Chain A
Amino acid sequence: MRRPPATRRAERRERWEGAFDPTRLALTGVLLSAVLLFQPTLYGRTAILAAAAAAAWASGRRLSPLMTVVVMAGIVAANLLVPIGRRLATIGPLVVTETALLAGLEKAVTFEALMFISKACLGPALTLPGRFGAFFGDALRGYDRILEHKGSVKLDGFMRRIDEILISVYDGFQSGGDRADTGYRGRPTSLRRGDPALAVVALAAAASLLIR
């Protein structure tokens, strides 16, 4: 019997998170985003979009193809509202023009490609550097503790329940204190099995910019 989609997605998430070092993965994401923004052609950006979508799926993130299509259509439609360029078609009161259409497509593709890159390359395991990172870690810890009470939140008596949760969690909440689980972040961590693939992807992406 096939496992339900949510379980398969969770398994993909675990495999993905286990395969890469979070910091290196995030840095690869930054590099890919930069490559995307410097990519001049629409075809190139669309190729990056496809690859990023595949990566985001493989990472086990929750995705909604419907939302992606709706958002992209919305961006294109918004850009078509101001007609610029050669007239291609007239749909009712809307005139579809070439330059506006291409601009809209480029913005839509870039928008979603960035989203997919982000989704694939970021995760809660990411530890940000410095005091800000420690602050963020504290916030995440508090978030985890508050989340444990999530089931008790109902629409009825909403405010009071939130208040009760706040009281019970805040008392035990320490900031900067329990570092037992974080460990020293300065030393480079050991190589994970997916990390070499990251390097290959990064190099390929950088090289693609040179091919024109």
Chain B
Amino acid sequence: MSSTRSYARPALPDGGRRLAAFLAALAFFLSTVEYMLPRPVPFMRLGLANLPLLLAVDLLPFGSYIALALVKVVGMSVLTGSLFSYVALFSLAGTLASALVMRGLRALAGPRSLSYVGLCVAGAVSSNLAQVALARVFVFGDSARFMAPAFVGLGLASGLALGAFTQAFASKSAWLAGILATPSAAEASAGGSE
């Protein structure tokens, strides 16, 4: 019995550590792959690397979820060699804002009322808003407000695209189905299976 409010994540043996590390690895990989895809506009990124984090909203316990977000940002910064720069700072703020917003929304509504599309749009828009705010302070000054509408628009567009993609992927992925075959904490303690 699944209400739209209480939502059961799978009970993972190590508190999600293995899965979280793997999802981080996937994030690194997807961002590499994304560079291969054709990009119409340099600043317009699909943000494929956010797909694992999006899936993790429903898979990982909160601690591992935040660890995943942090490792994703720090890892990408180290790999691209930008850890000490403003870019990493913006990334960190954006990813954290997005992660918290998505998790918070899921705490309010289950998958029947809120799918990955809505989560992703909310995450993308809040991430971009956080980045515009920081860009105003550190890089662009007052004229950053000229970019605010564009960033929100981009967040909306890329959020829709990535959200739809993730939704489709989640429904077809055999890998994900395997992970979810682990009984959830609630079901396990109730003695039922599946």
Contacts of B29 in A (CB 8 A): 143, 146-147, 150
A115 touches B85 (CB 8 A): yes
Question: Chain B interface residue count: which class?
Answer: 35 or more
B61 CB to closest chain A CB (Å) equals: 14
B4 close to chain A: CB less than 8 A: no
A115 to B90, CA, bound (A): 13
* 0 or 1 for each of A115-145: is its CB under 8 Å from B? (1 = yes): 1011111111010100010011011111101
* Residue on A nearest B140 in the bound complex, by CB: A78
B70 touches A132 (CB 8 A): yes
A170 close to chain B: CB less than 8 A: yes
Contact with B139, one of A30, A75, A155 (Cβ below 8 angstroms): A75
A106 CB to closest chain B CB (Å) equals: 10
A212 CB to closest chain B CB (Å) equals: 24
B168 touches A159 (CB 8 A): yes
Contacts of B178 in A (CB 8 A): 167
A107 touches B139 (CB 8 A): yes
A61 touches B143 (CB 8 A): no
A181 CB to closest chain B CB (Å) equals: 16
B83 touches A175 (CB 8 A): no
Contacts of A115 in B (CB 8 A): 81-82, 85, 87
A107, A142, A169 — which one has the most chain B CB atoms within 10 A of its CB?
A142
Stretch at the interface among B15-23, B109-117, B153-161, B184-192: B15-23
Contacts of B75 in A (CB 8 A): 136, 139-140
* Residue on B nearest A170 in the bound complex, by CB: B22
A150 touches B174 (CB 8 A): no
B71 close to chain A: CB less than 8 A: yes
Which residues 72-131 of B have a CB within 8 angstroms of A? 74-75, 77-79, 81-88
Contacts of A136 in B (CB 8 A): 24, 71, 74-75
* Residue on A nearest B146 in the bound complex, by CB: A81
A103 close to chain B: CB less than 8 A: yes
Task: Tell me the total A-B contact number using a CB cutoff of 8 A.
Answer: 144
A145 CB to closest chain B CB (Å) equals: 8
The main secondary structure of chain A at its interface with chain B is helix
Contacts of A160 in B (CB 8 A): 172
B142 close to chain A: CB less than 8 A: yes
Contacts of A81 in B (CB 8 A): 143, 146
A158 CB to closest chain B CB (Å) equals: 9
A23 to B73, CA, bound (A): 19
A75 to B88, CA, bound (A): 17
Contact with B71, one of A122, A139, A176 (Cβ below 8 angstroms): A139
A122 touches B81 (CB 8 A): yes
A208 close to chain B: CB less than 8 A: no
Contacts of A146 in B (CB 8 A): 25-26, 29
A163 touches B25 (CB 8 A): no
Contacts of B144 in A (CB 8 A): 78
If A107-B138, A135-B20, A163-B172 touch, whether A30 touches B143 (CB-CB below 8 Å) is no
Contacts of A79 in B (CB 8 A): 140-141, 143
B172 touches A61 (CB 8 A): no
A134 CB to closest chain B CB (Å) equals: 9
A136 to B173, CA, bound (A): 25
Known interface pairs A30-B84, A78-B147; 13 further A-B residue pairs with C-beta atoms within 8 A, sorted by A's residue number = A61-B81, A100-B141, A111-B139, A118-B77, A118-B85, A122-B78, A126-B78, A135-B20, A136-B71, A138-B25, A140-B28, A142-B26, A170-B22
